[in-house]
A and B are shown apart, each in its own frame.
Chain A
Amino acid sequence: MWRRPGMRTDSSHSPPAAQVGRRVFLGVGLAAVGATVSCTRGTAGGTWRFFTPAQAQTVDAICAQLIPADQDPGAKEAGVVNFIDLQLSKRFKKYRAVYQQGIDAVDAASRSKFGTRFVELTGERQVEVLNVVEENSPVFFDLIVTHARQGFYGDPRHGGNRNMVSWKMLGLPFPPVRGREHYKG
């Protein structure tokens, strides 16, 4: 029971706590525990924010064909799929439907042409499928090409260009060594 500091209390007027509060206490306690547990369960779990693991694999494989690794790392090594996934939960929310349909279109084209999922194809066959997708789903294809470039060359703070691989490839020193001229008052 709340009381003002310094206020005298008469215990004879206070109800026995066990008598009055047991059910209430248990109820509130259970509610609090329930709320805490639900809070700690998280919303999605796993590595991805928007994609399912299978979708992430497909997007990763598409990007790896768009910017393949050679003597330098490619889109896969730069974590471009991470960039796209992150941005689809933020600024690219409006493109979610395009990605959902586009990924379905890629797998559909893969199954109809080679009878299996896109990620299970060889690199050459993946390129063949992507040629079909470029013709049949140009909006998705153009979008993922643009996003792959952004994720590969952009600032690592946005989720791609892991370890600044593209900047290293281009020979851009990062962070640049740039001092400031000083003036005497």
Chain B
Amino acid sequence: MKKIVLTAGLLIAACLLMTPGATLYFELGDGTRCTTCHEMQPLYDTWHSSSHRNIACGKCHGDAFTVDVAFHMNNAHRAYSHLRGDLPEQIGFANKYVLEIDQQCRSCHREEYAKWESGPHSAGFARIFLDKKHNTANMLMDDCLRCHGMYYEGGIADLVQPVSRTGPWRLAQPELANMPSMPCATCHQVHRQGEPMQKSGVEGSRPGPTQEVARPSLALFDRRTQLYVPVADLPMPAMKEGERAVKMSKDQRQALCYQCHAPIAAMQVGSGDDRTGLGVHEGISCLACHDQHGEKTRASCATCHPKMSNCGLDVEKMDTTFVSADSKHNVHWVKCADCHTKGVPKKRQETNQ
């Protein structure tokens, strides 16, 4: 009897240890063993040539010592599906794991993470999807998930209930309430080809023609195709003010902003979610004023003003939305004529001549 109990116990222990054991086996192969499943080959290849090539798979994907039964069960389920020949079209992350990976990003990119965390792009699901003001005026729809909660597996009706303009609204999964709806993986593809980040002392980090403008990971996760589109391939809209073509900055990084801060089809400045600079700020890149991760603009005026200020006033104290959100003059589109309603005086230096 004791032998039977012992045998059963050992069998159960062996079964329980088999999955983490297999995970350990894959880890020890430095990623190459993962490619025994052919669907893993493209993922391995992209990682191997990426800027994160020195980060072991287990750091982001979990390893044999991950204390999460669901993680190991998921691995066992995948192995079972693989052996059955039920192969996925694509391999991606579940919403839950994308959010967990944010914490792995944090372990190395602390400064960027802290800025992002203090900025608007770290807004949680509750902040975005349970906004009474928004939901009363605008019907919730699946398209919301294009920019918010893009990794969520399901439609808007699975996420928020009821889908109506009357509410009261609640999240079907309350645990998502404080989870970021725009995680790091929204704009960064970890497996994208590129060189590892250098701390200092390299040509690429010094101002000048060889300075690195954007990290290779910069890409948009497109929910519709479930693929990343590198920032270089993203389209830049041809913005208009009425019939006039608006001067656009050539900073390609803006293409990423335009995917969500987008105008409606007529491409008019200020339509939809567009914030293209107009007036005194026409032709300036979004990133000239908005800090990359925190989106903060507080210290940005000093980059150009007062050096490029035309009227000699302290621009930070002028009546714009920079000072107060209630101002009638949106800082994105403010023009000299907004204040000089009887005509814009000539520049002081021109008057002196």
Contacts and interface: CB of A to CB of B under 8 A. Distances in A.
Interface of A: 1-2, 15, 20-21, 24-25, 28-29, 31-33, 35-37, 39-49, 86, 89-90, 155-159, 163-164, 168, 173-185
Given A24-B3, A32-B14, A43-B82, A179 B272 contact: yes
A24 B38 CA distance: 36
A183 B137 contact: yes
B89 interface: yes
Interface stretch (B103-111, B222-230, B328-336): B222-230
A36 B18 CA distance: 6
B14 A28 contact: yes
18 contacts: A2-B9, A15-B2, A20-B2, A24-B3, A32-B21, A42-B37, A43-B85, A45-B36, A47-B38, A155-B224, A157-B227, A164-B233, A168-B233, A177-B258, A177-B263, A178-B264, A181-B272, A185-B137
Nearest to A26: B10
A158 B224 CA distance: 12
B82 A36 contact: no
A41 B85 CA distance: 14
Q: Secondary structure of the A side of the interface?
A: loop
Interface string B63-85: 00000000000000001001101
A177 B235 contact: yes
Contacts, number: 137
Nearest to B255: A177
A40 B3 contact: no
B36 A155 contact: no
B263 A90 contact: no
B271 A183 contact: no
A43 B267 CA distance: 51
B253 to A, nearest CB: 15
B48 to A, nearest CB: 15
Nearest to B222: A175
A168 B233 CA distance: 9
A156 B230 CA distance: 14
Contacts of B87: 49, 86, 89-90
A39 B15 CA distance: 12
A28 B274 CA distance: 64
Of the listed residues B14, B137, B233, the one surrounded by the most CB atoms of chain A closer than 10 A to its CB is B14
Contacts of B61: none
B274 A179 contact: yes
Interface string B124-150: 000000000100111000010000000
Interface string B30-67: 00010011110100000000000000000000000000
A25 B14 CA distance: 10
B137 A184 contact: yes
B5 interface: yes
B25 A36 contact: yes
Interface string B255-299: 000110111110100011110000000000000000000000000
A182 to B, nearest CB: 6
Contact of B36 (A35, A42, A183): A42
Contact of A31 (B6, B14, B136): B14
A105 to B, nearest CB: 26
B22 interface: yes
B226 to A, nearest CB: 5
A47 B271 CA distance: 47
Contacts of B83: 39, 43
